[in-house]
Amino acid sequence: MKYLVILGDGMADRPVQSLGGKTPLQAADIPEMDWLAEHGCNGLLATVPDGYAPGSEIAHLAIFGYDLDRVFEGRGALEAASMGVPIEEGEMAMRCNLVTVEDGRILNHSAGQISTEEASVLMSFLQDNLGGDGFSFHTGVSYRHLLKMKGGNKHIVCTPPHDIAGQPYAGYMIRPEPETSVFPQTAPAVLSSAELAGRAETARKLNELILKSMEILSSHPVNIARARAGKCMASSIWPWSPGYRPMMEPLSERYPQLRKGSVISAVDLIKGIGVYAGLVPVKVEGATGLYDTNYEGKAEAALKALEDEDFVFLHVEASDEAGHDGDPRLKVRTIEYLNDRIVRPVLDRILKWDCPVSVALLPDHPTPCSIRTHTADPVPFTIFRTSGCGADGVREFDEFSAAKGCYGTLPASRFMDLFIEQQL
C-alpha cells in the first residue's frame, strides 16, 4: 500500500452570506473531491489540541500524530530543518523577521515584503557585524529568517510582530517567562535562581541584539535604496518563537511500512516538519504558496515520488491565503484549482495502478474568510483506498457532510493510525 495525503491549508470555513449561506467547500464545484468522499470514509478531525493556538505548525504536528507537549519547539526550530540549518545540543533557534520600525513603532512585520535577494545581503551584513558571540544569522525567504543562540533559554516571552503592527515596540521587548507560567512547556513549580537568571540573561542579550540591529541597518545601502524607491526599510530584526532542537522521531519509527517518503510544500514551516518526520522535501518550480502556484507541477511531483516511495505529503497553501485576504470567491477558486489540477490528475493516474493507494484529503484548520484568521474548529477529512474501504453514505466533501461520516469527530492523534491502518 502507498499513502498520499493531500492537504489544502485553511480550506475549511464557515457559511458565507455572499456564497448563499454556503461554505467555500460547499460552494465550490469539486466533483473529484466529492467522489473521494463518496467512495471513502469520512469524519471531522480536531486538529488543534486544547490550549494551543490554531497555527499551521500546531495542526500539522497533530495530524502527523506528534505529542505537542513533547515535541513542539517553535517556528524557528521547524523552519531551520527546511533551510538545512542543524540545531545542535545547547542551541536555541528563533524565527527572525526583518521588520520596519519608524518613530519607535513597528510599521510592518515583513519589511514591506522584502525580496529574498535584498534580505540575504542584510542577513550576511548582520552575521558579519552581530554574529559570533553565540549568535548566528541564517537567510530564509523574504522577511522570514533564522537566528540561533548558543546557550539561550527558551523560557522567554516574545511577541509575533504581525500581532503588533503599528504599535510602539518598546512595550513588546523580550521578557523572561515569569515563574508562575507552566504552559505549554513543562516547568517545575519552583524554579532555581540559576534558571531564572538564565531566562533574564537570554532576554537581555536578545533585546541588546535587536537595538544594535536598528543602529546598523538603517544606513545600509540596501535600505537606503529601498527608502529612495518609497519602499519600507528592513530597519530591525524581530526574533520570536524560541525553541530547541525538536525531539521528533521519524514516521518510519512508528510505522515501519513507511520506509521512504516525501513532503511537497512551498512553505518552510511545513517542509521543516516533514524533514523532522523523516520525509525528503521535493522542490517544485513555480510553487509560490499563493493561488497562482504550480498545481500541475505539484501533482506530477507527488505521482513521481509515489512510484517508488511509500508516503507523500502534498501541501497547498493557497486557500489559507485567500481566507486571510477575506476573499470567499478567491477561496472557492483555490479549492476548485486543487480539485481540477491536483486531485483529478492524481486520481486519474492512481486508479490505473496495480499497487493499492490510500488517499487522505483534508485541511489543517479552518481560515474563515469572515474573520480572516485561523480557528480551532474540527475539519472535514476523508480517507479513500483504491483497494476499497466501504463508503459511509457521505456524498460530498465539506464541513457539514463529513460530520455525518462513519468516523464521527476524532482527535488528530488518531489520524495517522487510521490512515496507515495500525489498528486493523
Smallest distance, Zn ion to C-beta of residue 329, A: 20
What b-and-e string marks burial along 37-68, b requiring 16 or more CB atoms within 10 Å of the CB? Answer: bbbbbbbbbbbbbeebebbbbbbbbbbbbbeb
C-alpha cell at 252: 518510519
Task: Please give the Cα distance from 372 to 370 (Å, whole number).
Answer: 6
Q: What is the number of the residue whose Cβ is closest to Zn ion?
A: 56
Q: Which stretch binds Zn ion (CB under 5 A): 96-104, 140-148, 180-188, 356-364?
A: 356-364
Q: With beta carbons less than 8 A apart as the criterion, state whether 279 and 262 touch.
A: yes
Smallest distance, Zn ion to C-beta of residue 378, A: 14
Task: Please give the Cα distance from 319 to 331 (Å, whole number).
Answer: 5
Q: With beta carbons less than 8 A apart as the criterion, state whether 99 and 111 touch.
A: yes
What is the distance of C-alpha 232 from the center of its chain? 26
**Which CB sits closer to Zn ion, 26 or 56?**
56
Smallest distance, Zn ion to C-beta of residue 59, A: 6
- Single out the residue of 178, 188, 189 nearest to residue 155, CA to CA: 178
Contact residue for Zn ion among 4, 5, 6, 9 (CB under 5 A): 9
Cβ neighbourhood burial of 248 (10 Å; 0-12, 13-18, 19+): buried
Contact residue for Zn ion among 32, 118, 309, 364 (CB under 5 A): 364
**Which CB sits closer to Zn ion, 55 or 112?**
55
Q: Which stretch binds Zn ion (CB under 5 A): 4-12, 114-122, 225-233, 379-387?
A: 4-12
Smallest distance, Zn ion to C-beta of residue 157, A: 24
Query: Could you tell me how many residues of this chain bind Zn ion (CB under 5 A)?
Result: 5
Contact residue for Zn ion among 26, 47, 56, 334 (CB under 5 A): 56
- Give me the residues paired with residue 362 across strands: 7
**Which CB sits closer to Zn ion, 56 or 262?**
56
**Which CB sits closer to Zn ion, 7 or 248?**
7
Smallest distance, Zn ion to C-beta of residue 321, A: 10
What is the distance of C-alpha 53 from the center of its chain? 12
**Which CB sits closer to Zn ion, 364 or 399?**
364
The mark string for 293-322 relative to Zn ion (x by CB under 5 A, - otherwise) is ---------------------------x--
What is the distance of C-alpha 375 from the center of its chain? 14
The mark string for 72-111 relative to Zn ion (x by CB under 5 A, - otherwise) is ----------------------------------------
Smallest distance, Zn ion to C-beta of residue 214, A: 32
**What one-character DSSP code corresponds to residue 304?**
H
**Which CB sits closer to Zn ion, 362 or 402?**
362
Query: Rule CB under 5 A: which of 165-184 touch Zn ion?
Result: none
Task: Please give the Cα distance from 265 to 298 (Å, whole number).
Answer: 8
Task: Please give the Cα distance from 362 to 343 (Å, whole number).
Answer: 12
Residues 6 or more apart whose Cβ sits within 8 Å of residue 115 = 142
Query: Rule CB under 5 A: which of 319-338 touch Zn ion?
Result: 320
The owner of cell 513549580 is: 189
Smallest distance, Zn ion to C-beta of residue 181, A: 26
**Which CB sits closer to Zn ion, 54 or 152?**
54
Q: With beta carbons less than 8 A apart as the criterion, state whether 284 and 299 touch.
A: no
Q: Which stretch binds Zn ion (CB under 5 A): 26-34, 53-61, 171-179, 416-424?
A: 53-61
Query: Rule CB under 5 A: which of 187-246 touch Zn ion?
Result: none
**Which CB sits closer to Zn ion, 10 or 43?**
10
Smallest distance, Zn ion to C-beta of residue 320, A: 5
- Give me the residues paired with residue 264 across strands: 314
- Which H/E stretch holds residue 381? strand 379-385
**Which CB sits closer to Zn ion, 198 or 323?**
323
Smallest distance, Zn ion to C-beta of residue 95, A: 16
- Which H/E stretch holds residue 195? helix 193-217
The pair phi, psi for residue 322, each rounded to 5°, is: -65, -35
Q: Note the residues at the interface with Zn ion (CB under 5 A).
A: 9-10, 56, 320, 364
